[in-house]
């Protein structure tokens, strides 16, 4: 009880410091810059100058200078042919550093190794960034002939991958469309879906089923299953996937054998991450 009481006091003091920063140690310009960055959410991932100024509580001139500085540093990027901005790759680099050192990645990698090679030839953890999937962890064995580079930090188009579909499926329709339209959609194989209406119908199916499949859509000769990782609020903040060489077994057999095991690992990741406060 004493330990719990002390922890509560520490948390209370931390919350008080956050709400009322010490003016001697607080750099207002830094606080304003982070206020700009914090304007962006999964629901509002592209914003105009006016929207940023309003959300951050800044005048337009200050917001403009902060935005231009953050663009130069790579933490924001201008959306082509529009007056909108979105978070830049530098923000992703910071997030990846956090995830790759002692948090979600360290939790996931041992569990992924439990899936390879018994269940599949590769297993991955990914997040959604704009219209891309970004790999945070990857364990592979047996896919050398496909020459697939999926090292942490690798990006692939979300429209073409089961891992992308399983995260896109849980977004609002307008955000699905915005992300699918944010990059050119080209066929990576004869099975790749590129038509917007067809992709949206696929996402509806994925959300209903709770998992996504790809049978040679992202790359010839590969079959993939993917499941979403939810945070404490029920938002899909990542996904896990397992992939096999198509010569190993057909899609129905792969799904029957691999899906229960992938879902079990996903639940483990989700439960541990939420309890550890890594996703909530």
CB 178 within 8 A of CB 46: yes
C-alpha separations of 33 from 38, 53, 265 in Å: 9, 11, 38
Distance, in Å, from the CA atom of 152 to the CA atom of 196, rounded to the nearest integer, reads: 28
Q: For residue range 31-74, what is the model confidence (pLDDT) as tens digits?
A: 999 999 999 876 788 999 999 999 999 999 999 999 999 999 98
The structural domains of the chain, ordered by start, are 2-87 (1.10.10.10), 91-275 (3.30.450.40)
Distance, in Å, from the CA atom of 138 to the CA atom of 123, rounded to the nearest integer, reads: 6
What was the pLDDT predicted at 97?
57
Q: For residue range 168-183, what is the model confidence (pLDDT) as tens digits?
A: 999 999 999 999 998 8
Higher pLDDT, 228 or 142: 228
What was the pLDDT predicted at 145?
56
Residue 113, pLDDT above cutoff 50: yes
Classified as helix, coil or strand, 3 is helix
Least confident of 82-96, 121-135, 253-267: 82-96
What's the token pair of residue 214? Answer: 């790809």
Distance, in Å, from the CA atom of 112 to the CA atom of 125, rounded to the nearest integer, reads: 8
Mean pLDDT of 222-231: 93
What was the pLDDT predicted at 204?
97
Cis peptide upstream of residue 55 (ω within 30 degrees of 0): no
CB 223 within 8 A of CB 216: yes
């Amino acid at each position: 009880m004493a330990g719990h009481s002390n922890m509560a006091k520490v948390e209370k003091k931390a919350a008080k410091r956050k709400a009322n920063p010490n003016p001697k140690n607080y750099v207002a310009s830094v606080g304003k810059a982070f206020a700009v960055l914090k304007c962006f959410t999964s629901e509002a991932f592209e914003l105009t100058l006016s929207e940023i100024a309003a959300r951050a509580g800044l005048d337009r001139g200050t917001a403009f200078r902060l935005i231009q500085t953050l663009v130069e540093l790579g933490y924001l990027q201008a959306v082509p042919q529009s007056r909108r901005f979105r978070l830049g790759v530098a923000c992703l680099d910071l997030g990846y550093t956090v995830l790759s050192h002692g948090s979600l990645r360290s939790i996931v990698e041992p569990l992924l190794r439990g899936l390879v090679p018994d269940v599949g030839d590769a297993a991955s953890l990914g997040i959604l960034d704009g219209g891309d999937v970004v790999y945070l962890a990857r364990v592979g064995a047996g896919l050398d002939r496909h020459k697939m580079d999926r090292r942490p930090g690798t990006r692939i188009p979300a429209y073409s991958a089961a891992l992308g579909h399983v995260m896109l499926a849980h977004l609002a329709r307008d955000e699905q469309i915005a992300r699918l339209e944010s990059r050119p959609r080209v066929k990576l194989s004869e099975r790749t879906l590129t038509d917007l209406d067809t992709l949206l119908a696929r996402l509806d199916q994925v959300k209903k089923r709770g998992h996504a499949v790809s049978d040679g859509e992202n790359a010839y000769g590969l079959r993939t299953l993917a499941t979403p990782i939810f945070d404490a609020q029920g938002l899909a903040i990542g996904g896990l996937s397992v992939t096999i060489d198509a010569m190993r077994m057909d899609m129905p057999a792969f799904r029957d054998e691999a899906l229960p095991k992938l879902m079990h690992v996903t639940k483990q990741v989700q439960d541990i991450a939420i309890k550890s406060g890594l996703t909530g």
